Each structure stands twice: as C-alpha cells, then as structure tokens.
Amino acid sequence: MRAVRMAAFGPPSTATIEDLPTPEPDEGEVRVAMRAAGVNYPDLLVMTGAYQHKPPLPFTPGKELAGEVEAVGPGVTRLAVGDRVMVQVEYGAFAEQVIATEGQCFKIPDGMSFVDAAAMGLVYQTGWFALFDRARMTEGDVVLVLGATGGVGLATIQIAKAMGAGSVLAGVSTMSKAQAARDAGADHIIDLSGENLRDSLRDQVMAVTDGYGADICIDPLGGDPFDAAMRALAWCGRMVVVGFAAGRIPVIKANYLLVKNIEVSGLQWSDYRDRTPERMIDAQAEIFRLYADGKLTPHVMDRIPLARVADAMAVIEERRVTGKVVLEL
C-alpha cells in the first residue's frame, strides 16, 4: 500500500510516497481502506516537529480519514468488514490502509460521502468540546469565534448556530473570506485586520451586542486577537484557548480575571479522544445527526490527490484555507 512518509521532521515538501506492506489488525483493531483524509493545521505542526506529541521516525502523518473496514482483528464487536467509518488517529491517516482501534472509528451515516465524513471529525469535535465542555454553552449565549474562516472556526460557527446560540460573531482576518463565515451562519463579522485591534475588536463586539459583549470566545489564534478578545467578554464570560495560529502564546494577568468575573480554559481535543472515547462517540453521533438533519455542512474548499500532500499542506501554511482541504485517493 502507498503511504505518505516523513523520514525526518521538516517542511511538508520533504514528504515522500512509499510502498509499505499491508498492515494486519491486532486484538481490538480493524484495517480501514482509506478513501479520503482530512488535512488539519496540527498535521503541519506534527510534520515540522513543532507538535506536543512527536511520532517516532519515520512516520506517516495524518489524523483523520474516512473509508471502509476491510479486515477485522480478534475481539472486535462493534464493526464488520464493509462498514463505512470515519477514523481519528494520533498519526498515520495519510495512507491507503490504516490500522485503528474500534474506539477510534465512527460509523458514517447512510448517504454521507467519504469526503464529507473526513471533514467532519477533528474540527467539529474540537468546536463541540470547546463550546459545550469548556465554555458550557447554553441557548441564547453570544459566541465570538476567532480564526472564523479556518477549519475549527467554520465548524464552531455552524455548531453554535445549530445548537441555539443567541448570536454568533465571526472574527475574520482575511476579509475576502468573510462570506464563508456568513454562509456558515455567523450573524456578524468582526474585522480583525484593522489598526488598533485592542480597541477595534471590543468596539465592534459591543456595537453588535448593544454593549453586552461575548458570553463565550473560542480562540484558535492566540496573540493580539486573544488579548483584544479578552476585553470584549461579557460579565462572567468564558474564553477557551484552542490554538496559537497567530504565532504568540498570550500571557494572562490574573487580576483581569477577577476584575471582570471571567474565566479562561484550555481545550486539548486529543485528550477527549484518549481519555473519554465514549464521550467522543456520543459527540460524533450528535455531529453526524445534525449533518443528516441538514444543520451542519462541512465546507470542503479543495480535494487533492494523496500524492500531492505537500500542495494540500501549502494551502494551510500559506493561509489560503477556507474550511477544509481533503486528500483523496
């Protein structure tokens, strides 16, 4: 089988395509024939060696895929050959065949394409746990989503709207992409590209919420957008740290939390996958149910052949992405 390989940590252009032996599933594992694989910002971090968990070299990158179960190991009870599944793994998804535990597989609803399924794992789960576990979103909340046109951003906007947020505000840096955030359901666009973000972000949020502010901010950016968004939270607001795409890890002054009665929490998606797989199965079932009901629709901006993985990663690296890029066989 063909697989993307990294012999050393480095830019995606150093990835090669190699022929590897067909892997055999062990106890509790299945082998999935990959049809589509979602590309994520964290893949870039893993390939360059900047991610918190570094795979042993050489390795196959990729955290999610969709395909068909083609072999089942001993002790597997929930899955059978022929089942259509979406799969979440730590790494290894960018290959024609992938070994996964039963718990890492989520059955795909009838009628859902492999491409859509591969785009509805990691980023939707991240948005789900950020909104409901970390930020305790309830109906009517005002939700500000930064990095709104990226994978996590668009998914989070859609989920917040589908689950009854009162108002969803999309923080957008590249204004030419703003329509994608509107299409995902954002009620207002917050322009992050202007001068003096510290004031301009808060002014915009206060203007569209009649001076109320945001109950929740989901932040995949860090840096200046994080600092500015902290000033736009409502009383008892909740900020969720998801990532640092803007490049700087912010520092928080504790007195600020006290004075404004606000809280800041962090979200690490993979911990839910590894520590509470049953919660992830429930969350993914809800996400797929909302898809089947027409309330969530992944925004797949491009489908690129597996062998052109470097081109797919370049879309992420060069900030050209809107929503998701998916690799296909």
Ligand X SMILES: NC(=O)c1ccc[n+]([C@@H]2O[C@H](COP(=O)([O-])OP(=O)(O)OC[C@H]3O[C@@H](n4cnc5c(N)ncnc54)[C@H](OP(=O)(O)O)[C@@H]3O)[C@@H](O)[C@H]2O)c1
The mark string for 190-229 relative to ligand X (x by CB under 6 A, - otherwise) is ------------------------------xx---x----
Least Cβ distance, residue 11 to ligand X (angstroms) = 16
By the rule CB under 6 A, 121 interacts with ligand X:
no
Least Cβ distance, residue 170 to ligand X (angstroms) = 10
The answer to whether residues 188 and 232 touch, using CB atoms and an 8 Å cutoff, is no
Q: Do you know the residue count of the chain?
A: 329
The answer to whether residues 225 and 204 touch, using CB atoms and an 8 Å cutoff, is no
Q: Which of 156, 186, 188, 191 is nearest to 175 (CA)?
A: 191
Q: Give phi and psi for 215, each to the nearest 5.
A: -65, -35
- Which one of 22-30, 183-191, 201-209, 243-251 is the stretch in contact with ligand X (CB under 6 A)? 243-251
Least Cβ distance, residue 192 to ligand X (angstroms) = 6
Please state whether beta strands 142-145 and 105-107 pair in parallel, antiparallel, or not at all (unpaired): unpaired
By the rule CB under 6 A, 12 interacts with ligand X:
no
Residue nearest to ligand X as judged by C-beta position? 150
Q: By C-beta, is 105 or 146 nearer to ligand X?
A: 146
Choose, by CB under 6 A, the member of 16, 174, 261, 265 that binds ligand X: 174
Contacting ligand X within 269-328 (CB under 6 A): 269, 316, 319, 321
The mark string for 39-78 relative to ligand X (x by CB under 6 A, - otherwise) is -xxx--x---------------------------------
Please state whether beta strands 16-19 and 2-5 pair in parallel, antiparallel, or not at all (unpaired): antiparallel
Choose, by CB under 6 A, the member of 25, 61, 92, 147 that binds ligand X: 147
The answer to whether residues 328 and 303 touch, using CB atoms and an 8 Å cutoff, is yes
End-to-end CA distance of the chain: 12
Q: Report the C-alpha gap between 247 and 313 in whole angstroms.
A: 18
Vertex 47 angle, CA 309 and 158, to 5°: 70
By the rule CB under 6 A, 244 interacts with ligand X:
yes
By the rule CB under 6 A, 243 interacts with ligand X:
yes
The answer to whether residues 242 and 218 touch, using CB atoms and an 8 Å cutoff, is yes
By the rule CB under 6 A, 185 interacts with ligand X:
no
Least Cβ distance, residue 172 to ligand X (angstroms) = 5
Residue 219 host element (H or E): strand 214-219
The secondary structure of residue 228, as a DSSP letter, is H
Choose, by CB under 6 A, the member of 246, 287, 301, 314 that binds ligand X: 246
By the rule CB under 6 A, 250 interacts with ligand X:
no
Q: Report the C-alpha gap between 248 and 224 in whole angstroms.
A: 8
Binding site for ligand X (CB under 6 A): 40-42, 45, 122-123, 126, 147, 149-153, 172-174, 177, 220-221, 225, 242-247, 267-269, 316, 319, 321
